[in-house]
Chains A and B, each alone.
Chain A
Amino acid sequence: MQRGNTLETLPSSVDAQRSAVERAKKSLARIILGKDEQITLALSCLLAQGHLLIEDLPGLGKTMLAQSLARTLGLSFRRIQFTSDLLPADIIGVSIFRQDSGEFEFQPGPVFSQLILADEVNRATPKAQSALLEAMEEYQVSVDGDTRSLPEPFFVVATQNPGDQIGTFPLPESQLDRFLMRVAMGYPDEVSERELIAGEDRRLMLDDIEAVTGPEILIELQKSARKQRVSDPLIDYVQALVRHTRESADIEIGLSPRGAQALIAAARARSFIENHSGVYPDDIQAVFTSVAGHRLKPAGSTRFRSPSELCQHVLDSVAIP
């Protein structure tokens, strides 16, 4: 899978790590046009060791983003198309009885890859969904009483189509919590759309992507991201935000301490990608909507139509200390 040869050795120096991040960004931006923000968020999510949920209408490049992420980062990649008749065994794998040896042999399912694309995750039954969600939480799966570890790193990028209402099983809030971020793609701007229509077929371009990192490098990058400095005033700011979500009349259920931790982790990764000297309020704001959006439960009486509007309102009401 790893076709790139430039980064055989681990990037021990800061410069090598920087250039890896920059090249990954550039490589992704070449395929996903006009979506720099989403690309940065997706990368931040992976560097923060979180799982990503991409939610939008069909045809906006959800699958494309997931696939190009896997290619760019040099991870083993499997795609699972979720359907209503999908069984947990289709995800995890099954034990097959071999007649010649007279023993059961485990056939690993698609979940034993470093990056999983769970396409249209809300189409499958809760039973199949929970098989995946458990793997996401535990980083291991249990089959026939054996516990098998998943590869490292292990990411799940799930996509979900909010438009479909019939025959879907929306993920409950408690399970949404397992995704570090939920990102919406949105329509491309005019220039980008023109390029998409007229330019090269993106699907073909996928094959030309060179991997700029590998699993080991990715783990190093994650370590560096975790070391990004978080100052006291920044924690004050995060606490003020979290407090606001709990006290606001527009929000029924605010951010939990785990939500606050997720916010800091994601902002750390984003700050690392942006090469900031520490985590800035700007980093918090950049990841806030995607981290907090699916964790907040808006009040019934709220005037905000979407979680992102609600999150933006929170950001606009809390002063940066």
Chain B
Amino acid sequence: MKVQPRGTDGSLLASLPWTTGALVISLVPHVPYLPIWITTAFIACAVWRYVIEKRRRMLPSRWIRGGLALVCFLGVFGTYSSISGVGPGSALLAIMAALKLLETRRRRDQFVLLFISIFLVMSSLLREQYLWSLPYLIGGILIILTAWLRMSAGESETAKQSFSTSGRLLLYAAPMAIAMWVFFPRLASPFWAVPIDTSRGTSGLSDSMSPGDISSLSMSDALAFRVQFDAEIPESRDLYWRGLVMTRFNGRTWTGSEPRVGTPIEDQIEFRGEAVSYEVTLEPTRQQWIFALDMPREVSLARVFMGQQQQLVNVTPIEQRIAYRVVSHTDYIVQADLQAVYRDWYTSIPDDGNQRATELAWQMRADAGSDTAYINAVLAKFHEEEYFYTLQPPALGSNPVDRFLFDTRQGFCEHYASAFAFMMRSAGIPSRVVLGYQGGEVNPMGGHLIVRQSDAHAWTEVWLERYGWYRVDPTAAVAPERIEYGVQAATLDGIGQTWGFTAAPQFLQDLTMTWDALNAKWNEWILGYGPDTQNSFMEWLGMDNPNWRKMLLTLVGSVIAIILIISGVMMLRYRPPAKDGASILYNKFIRKTGLQRRVGETEQEFALRAMTDSKLAHRIVTSVTIAYLDARYGIADDDALTKLRTAVAAIP
């Protein structure tokens, strides 16, 4: 093998910043996901390489490079314990691109780096496909293309010219990209799918609930789902988005039974009142819960079943954004009959612990006389006594219910729901805790409802004769505004103020709403462009019975048409070089001589002929010819052109 020279001569000084810049830009979307050492090593390699070039040093030897490559490979493997998948794949790509810089000696190596940066830019789509990904993609490719053009640019070409050339290239490519996107047949069962990064996937809901363990709840603005109602949006107090149900309490923690597909539960629900139908676009949760308004009657998803506690469960975790239609009734009766075995189950509490709360429950139940009166009494206790709604409650330790009810008296929905359900069970009333979302924000631009992670909520259901499972939200007794106006209002009005929360200015809210509406459309039309949408779009375009054959034919046809149109435009816009300013003036001079310029006759030869055969003065012929040669082949600046114009104007 031929050993490559390792010396540098500074010839890459001009182009290295472009290549490195392109690489850095392609790395940006990956940085939040990459381990910090990869970003650091990347920057270090870039700086190292630049210093080598600047000081005309030697590139690191093959042994050093090989050693570094091995170390980095092992580092990636150690970080991810794998080398396949989006995370380790992009980490490996990024770090190897940085190492490639260390053996970049020629233009050809830089082209390889630019290829890699294009790949990195595109692989950011494997992580996220937000609306802002589009401007990033376009900008990134634009800059990489510019860097590419800079590699082969002549001395006279400015960076601005290269930039506009790459912009033009993208513009020419855009119609073809759009045609391919629209017409390329989408298959119901694709041959391949984007692997989801396993490090991702967050939800506002966890499978268990331990009030008191968490001493503060973050107000995550992340989107949970969007809802588009067919008719009017129901009242905020009816917007209980049912998620999962907790039935077991061990004194500290509420847990649900495993979601189980059992006997049809729908029979036990009696739907009343008017139906509400709507479409939910759910962000990936990596959980199986499907959210719907209490109480769902129909869901458009095929692989969704209703669990024992009326929760909707998908067969597999939600890995990708999905949209589904639901019909719900906000007025309903569930399980008017409850078997004794279930009553026992729903009233079971641990024998020891939380003694004060148990005793209080017995006493209050005895005082109240009936179950309903008892429920009202407990709610009234929350409402009238000094209980506070806060997102930063103190920790509770063991016997959390006791401590919360009698000592701290501060908490958010989980605390109240847990304490309330415990009080119910102590008094022998079947009860359970429901986790889901409550409320949501109406987007006036899109007319849809935005439900965020900060809208996550916990409430309780108690079982009463004839009423079945009846929803009781103890948080509403403490902070009614939480239910009427949302979390933000509840925290602002009270303790929140001391923490310095202030409402965002109006224009900022408008901006957020517009952005959200745009994102909703983006999800609906761009990311949600699947087999169904494509088929209906094709029909709308006038295609009978769309199938993949017809779409492919249309695709090929439209690509050919686009190429023809673009080349036609380019041909029409092409101006032969003879049309430049200098040659127009020179042609004027030729006409004035009354002679024809012969094919292949140089300016000097023509000048000699003009001196003998035309009436023009020798002086004029000479001055025009010299000025023309200078303006066309010499410095060719405006100055030279002005001189030529003056010389031609002097022709009588």
Contacts and interface: CB of A to CB of B under 8 A. Distances in A.
Pair from one complex: yes
B590 to A, nearest CB: 12
B574 to A, nearest CB: 13
B601 A280 contact: no
Nearest to B602: A282
B576 interface: yes
B599 A233 contact: no
Contacts of B632: 231, 233
B604 interface: yes
Given A282-B604, A320-B601, A236 B577 contact: yes
A234 B578 contact: no
Interface in A255-281: 276-281
B629 to A, nearest CB: 5
A317 to B, nearest CB: 6
Q: Which of B600, B601, B632 has the most CB of A within 10 A?
A: B600
A321 B576 contact: yes
Interface in A210-263: 229, 231-234, 236
A280 B636 contact: no
Nearest to A315: B600
B191 interface: no
A232 B635 CA distance: 12
Contact of A280 (B576, B580, B603): B603
A318 B601 CA distance: 9
Given A278-B633, A280-B633, A316 B602 contact: no
A285 to B, nearest CB: 6
B630 interface: yes
B350 interface: no
A233 B633 contact: yes
B531 interface: no
Interface string B578-608: 1010010000000000000011111111000
A319 interface: yes
Interface in A271-304: 276-282, 285
B634 interface: yes
B633 A277 contact: yes
A318 B599 contact: yes
Given A232-B577, A233-B580, A236-B577, A320 B602 contact: yes
B600 A317 contact: yes
Contacts of A279: 633
A245 to B, nearest CB: 13
Interface in B622-646: 629-630, 632-636
A310 B442 CA distance: 83
Contacts of A282: 602-605
Contacts of A281: 602-603, 633
B135 to A, nearest CB: 35
A229 to B, nearest CB: 6
Nearest to B601: A320
Contacts of A316: 598-600
Contacts of A277: 629-630, 633-635
B629 A285 contact: no
Nearest to B629: A280
Interface residues on B, range: 20 to 34
Contacts of A232: 577
Contacts of B599: 316-319
Nearest to B640: A277
A276 B625 CA distance: 12
Given A232-B577, A233-B577, A236-B577, A318 B633 contact: no
Nearest to B632: A233
Contact of A320 (B580, B600, B630, B635): B600
Contacts of B576: 321
B633 A229 contact: yes
Nearest to B605: A282
A267 to B, nearest CB: 11
Interface string B291-326: 000000000000000000000000000000000000
B619 to A, nearest CB: 19
Interface string B115-131: 00000000000000000
A232 B632 CA distance: 9
Contacts of A278: 629-630, 633-636
Contacts of A234: 633
B635 A229 contact: yes
A285 B630 CA distance: 18
Contact of A276 (B580, B605, B629): B629
B583 to A, nearest CB: 8
Contacts of A319: 599-600
Given A236-B577, A321-B576, A231 B600 contact: no
A234 B576 CA distance: 13
A311 to B, nearest CB: 11
Nearest to A229: B634
A316 B598 CA distance: 8
Nearest to A284: B602
Nearest to A277: B634
Given A277-B629, A280-B629, A318 B600 contact: yes
Contacts of A280: 602-604, 629, 633
B226 to A, nearest CB: 56
A282 B598 CA distance: 14
Contacts of B577: 232-233, 236, 321
Contacts of A231: 632-634, 636
Nearest to B576: A321
Contacts of B602: 280-282, 285, 320
A99 B304 CA distance: 102
Nearest to A233: B577
A318 B599 CA distance: 6
Contacts of A321: 576-578, 583
A288 to B, nearest CB: 10
A320 B590 CA distance: 14
A320 B629 CA distance: 12
A281 B601 CA distance: 9
B73 to A, nearest CB: 40
A145 B319 CA distance: 68
A235 to B, nearest CB: 10
Nearest to A285: B602
A281 B583 CA distance: 14
Nearest to B633: A278
Contacts of A285: 600, 602
Contacts of B604: 280, 282
A229 B640 CA distance: 14
Q: Which of B576, B578, B602 has the most CB of A within 10 A?
A: B602
Contacts of B629: 276-278, 280
A312 to B, nearest CB: 9
Interface in A192-217: none
Nearest to B636: A231
Interface in B564-581: 576-578, 580
Nearest to A281: B602
B634 A276 contact: yes
A280 B606 CA distance: 13
A293 to B, nearest CB: 16
> Nearest 8 pairs between A and B by C-beta?
A277-B634, A278-B633, A282-B602, A278-B634, A316-B600, A277-B630, A315-B600, A231-B633
20 contacts: A229-B634, A231-B632, A231-B633, A231-B636, A232-B577, A233-B633, A234-B633, A276-B634, A277-B629, A278-B630, A280-B603, A282-B603, A316-B598, A316-B600, A317-B599, A319-B600, A320-B601, A320-B603, A321-B577, A321-B578
Given A231-B636, A278-B633, 5 more contacts: A231-B632, A278-B630, A280-B603, A316-B598, A319-B600
